[in-house]
Amino acid sequence: MSPASPIVVLDSGLGGLTVVRELRNSLPHEDILYFGDTARLPYGSKTALTVGGFVKQIINYLLPFDPKHVVIACNTATALALPQVRSAFPGLSISGVVEPGAKAAIVAAGAKQVPTIGIIATEATVKSKAYERAIHRRRNHARIVLRPTPLLVPMIEEGRHPGDPLVRLAIEQYLKSMLQHGIDVLVLGCTHYPVFKDVIQKMVGGSVVVIDSARQCADDIAARLKGANLLRSAESAPGDARDVINQGTLRCFVTDDPDRFQRLAPRFVGVEIAPPTWVSPDELYGPTRGGDGWRLNVPA
Amino acid sequence: MSPASPIVVLDSGLGGLTVVRELRNSLPHEDILYFGDTARLPYGSKTALTVGGFVKQIINYLLPFDPKHVVIACNTATALALPQVRSAFPGLSISGVVEPGAKAAIVAAGAKQVPTIGIIATEATVKSKAYERAIHRRRNHARIVLRPTPLLVPMIEEGRHPGDPLVRLAIEQYLKSMLQHGIDVLVLGCTHYPVFKDVIQKMVGGSVVVIDSARQCADDIAARLKGANLLRSAESAPGDARDVINQGTLRCFVTDDPDRFQRLAPRFVGVEIAPPTWVSPDELYGPTRGGDGWRLNVPA
């Protein structure tokens, strides 16, 4: 592993691309491998055993690329599986999105001894209590108001825009009880949600700080790589060719429908992407398939 | 295979239980094995290759129970994969939900030569054109208005009730253009949708016939089993014990979170269910796993 090694970013689908967008802004020279597990998304309604297994398979598949860092750019997968994934790959630097988001929430809460922090996330992330733990480790007396918001991901995946009346009504319903609690900070605890950040900010009002976990996650990775002397610098190419040669690349892998992924990706990452590589979920389970790729006991 | 063999009903999640409810009403003596692929749901945004592979794995897993019939109780899986699944299991009687729904739509259209038939379904079902083909085979000149309605499944899975303002607004948005076309019949082209049937019927008005594909599918299975002399009759048990002994059983298998499935199931099937059996997706891929169930190349 060297500074030239890629950063792996993985997610259940498109949401993690908001982390890629932030990474490309702050670390434009880095090569990024993105894996979207679109055949098995969403992770948000599934268990730790299942999601942990999926993530381990994906990392295993990408190990031959010798990544210098792996980011689980999915709040659900981070909340449910980060410790089990880390212990499965002891030599690998792996981070998630929950800790950076929790840290930023505490910074935003400022000097307030008992801040009220709201968090919206998937059902699985809420149930995991990962954010409560991460926040209470930093400020014991913080009041935490959690709300699962399971329709936001399918609304974003459907391509709905923030101005859609259905989107506004859903966000209003989800935030209503939260606003009655008088929150100081609102954490967008899912990497899909930054797509609706502006309408959410408007709805909670200017006095509430809205934390975008994608942004915080990218800052966290930059600090880790710098600390490990693994940042790829612009200096390694000579003269005028420097900027062109050292512009980092983005390569995407998906487990289903590369066309759909390529079509929807710009909304999340902010630029057009090259056609993704398709990886059959079958491939993730290992090399011992039958002739047609499926284990069939019936006569052909 | 005999009349005592079970009927297999499979789906991506909970929706296919609406078919089970209808089957239990019309064929109360039958044993039913239900498989909900909750680790990999939803199927509605995925491709034929992926969904077809999932369905073949599930049938393969259930073959040892010697089913007398397999129902793909999921419009997406039927639309994308029925032919490939049938040819993978040539000895097995397999049916889906699209043909019965299309047939019922034509019956409901009555003598009208050019009826207008509306269909709401998942993105994948709409794209597959399976309903168009099935309807045009029966009435060449029928006008068809298709509308993908991808938020209805997550709304139902979230446990939202038909009276929820968000549900009403979503259905209104989805049906608006359809009503402008002046439809005669509306097909609920997803086995989840019967949960919202009443509010949909109210919104389209009494003159539009709403076709519930779950109901039609159950009628179709009853006719197939009768034709093959495979119906299980109440007569095979003696005297007063008849009703008790011959009450068919329902056994459920899921690939993720049996508790959640058991909690939400009554909404679809109309009765409480026994705890489902958990089947790891790993098991579906075959017996060649590593010691901890995952293929890991890293040292432990």
| Tens of pLDDT, residues B183-236 | 999 999 999 999 999 999 999 999 999 999 898 999 999 999 999 999 997 655
Residue B1, pLDDT score: 85
> Which pLDDT does position B83 carry in this prediction?
96
- ω into A42 cis (within 30 of 0): yes
pLDDT of residue B264: 93
- Tell me the percentage of chain B whose pLDDT exceeds 70: 91
What is this structure's pTM?
0.85
A280 CB neighbours in chain B (<8 A) are: 49-50, 53
Mean pLDDT of B142-161: 93
Q: Kindly report the nearest CA distance between residue A55 and chain B, in angstroms.
A: 11
The one-letter code for the residue type at A2 is: S
Q: Cα A151–A157–A160 angle (5° rounding)?
A: 80
Contact of A69 with A221, CB cutoff 8 Å: yes
Chosen for mutation from B37, B45, B152 (greatest number of chain A CBs closer than 10 Å) is: B45
B74 is catalytic: yes
Distance from C-alpha of B63 to C-alpha of B35, rounded to nearest angstrom: 12
pLDDT tier, B294 (very low <50, low <70, confident <90, very high otherwise)? very low
Say whether A298 and B91 touch across the interface (CB within 8 A): yes
Q: ∠ at Cα A154 (A151, A160), nearest 5°? A: 100
Per-residue pLDDT, A245: 57
Of B60, B90, B294, which has the smallest distance from its Cβ to A56's Cβ?
Answer: B294
Residue B100 has pLDDT above 70, yes or no: yes
Question: Would you place residue B241 in the very low, low, confident or very high pLDDT band (cuts 50, 70, 90)?
Answer: low
The answer to whether A169 contacts B166, with C-beta atoms less than 8 Å apart, is yes
Would the CB atoms of B53 and A282 count as touching at under 8 Å? yes
Cβ-defined contact of A286 to B295 (cutoff 8 Å): yes
Contacts of B289 in chain A (CB under 8 A): 286
Q: What is the pLDDT of residues B28-40, one digit of tens each?
A: 999 999 999 999 9
pLDDT in tens, B114-128: 999 999 999 999 999
A:B CB pairs within 8 Å: 128
pLDDT in tens, A188-222: 999 999 999 999 999 999 999 999 988 899 999 99
| Residue of chain A minimizing CA distance to B159 | A150
pLDDT for the residue numbered A294 = 30
- Which chain A residues contact residue B286 at CB under 8 A? 285, 288-289, 295
The reported pLDDT for the residue numbered A247 is 87
Query: In this complex, do A282 and B281 lie within 8 Å of one another by their Cβ atoms?
Result: no
Catalytic residue, chosen from B190, B204, B209, B273, is B190
Asked if pLDDT for residue B239 goes beyond 80, the answer is: no
What does the pLDDT average to over B243-249? Answer: 74
A286: nearest CB among B91, B158, B288: B288
pLDDT reported for residue B300: 30
Mutate to test the interface with A, among B1, B50, B167, B172 (most CBs of A within 10 A): B50
The neighbouring-strand residues paired with A224 are: none
Q: Which of A91, A150, A166 sits opposite B298 (nearest CB)?
A: A91
Chain A interface test: which of B57, B166, B192 (most A C-beta within 10 Å): B166
Of the candidates B63, B151, B286, the beta carbon closest to that of A158 is on B151
Side by side, which strands form the sheet with B94-95? B94-95, B69-72, B7-11, B32-36, B250-254, B277-278
B167-183 residues labelled b (16+ CB within 10 A) or e (exposed) = beebbebbbeebbeeeb
What are B174's two structure tokens? 């989805």
Contact A47 B151 (CB under 8 A): no
CA dist A260 and A269 (Å) reads 14
* Residue A161 backbone dihedrals phi, psi, to 5 degrees: -95, 160
Chain B residues with CB-CB distance to A50 below 8 A: 39, 255-257, 280-281
Residues in chain B: 300
Give residue A49's Cα distance to chain centre.
19
Closest by Cβ to B89, choosing from A39, A286, A298: A298
- Please tell me whether the peptide bond between B258 and the residue prior to it is cis, using omega within 30 degrees of 0: no
Residues B139-148, mean pLDDT to the nearest whole number: 95
* Binary contact (B255, A63; C-beta < 8 A): no
Q: What share of chain B is helix, strand, coil (3-state, %, to 5)?
A: 50, 15, 40
Gap from A297 CA to chain B (nearest CA, Å): 7
Confirm if B7 and B33 have CB atoms less than 8 A apart: yes
- Reading chain A (300 residues) residue by residue, the pLDDT tens digits are 899 999 999 999 999 999 999 999 999 999 999 999 999 988 988 999 999 999 999 999 999 999 999 999 999 999 999 999 999 999 999 999 999 999 999 999 998 889 999 999 999 999 999 999 999 999 999 999 999 999 999 999 888 999 999 999 999 999 998 899 999 999 999 999 999 999 999 999 999 999 998 889 999 999 999 999 999 976 555 555 555 557 899 999 999 999 999 999 999 999 999 999 999 988 998 653 333 333 322 233
Determine the pLDDT at residue A45. Answer: 85
What's the average model confidence in pLDDT over B173-181? 92
B186-224 in b/e form (b: 16+ CB < 10 A) is bbbbbbbbbbbbebbbebbeeebbbbbbbbbbbebbbeb
pLDDT given at position A1 = 85
CA distance A26 to chain B (A): 31
For residue A89, list chain B residues with Cβ-Cβ distance below 8 A: 298
Q: Which of B89, B165, B257 shows the shortest C-beta gap to A46?
A: B257
Residue B113 scores a pLDDT above 90: no
Q: Hey, how many other C-beta atoms are within 10 angstroms of the C-beta on B294?
A: 18
The minimum CA-CA distance between A28 and chain B, rounded to whole Å, is 30
* The predicted structure's pLDDT at residue A292: 34
Q: How far is B294 from chain A (nearest CA, A)?
A: 7
Which entry of B8, B33, B73, B74 is annotated as an active-site residue? B74
Closest chain B residue by Cα to residue A280: B50
Inter-chain CB proximity A296 and B56 less than 8 Å: yes
Spatial distance between the Cα atoms of B271 and A111, rounded to a whole number of angstroms: 53
Give the pLDDT of residue A298: 29
CA pair distance B172, B157, nearest whole angstrom: 19
- Mean pLDDT, rounded, for B165-173: 97
CB contact under 8 A, A53 and B299: no
**What confidence score (pLDDT) does residue A237 get?**
52
Which residues of A are part of the catalytic machinery?
74, 190
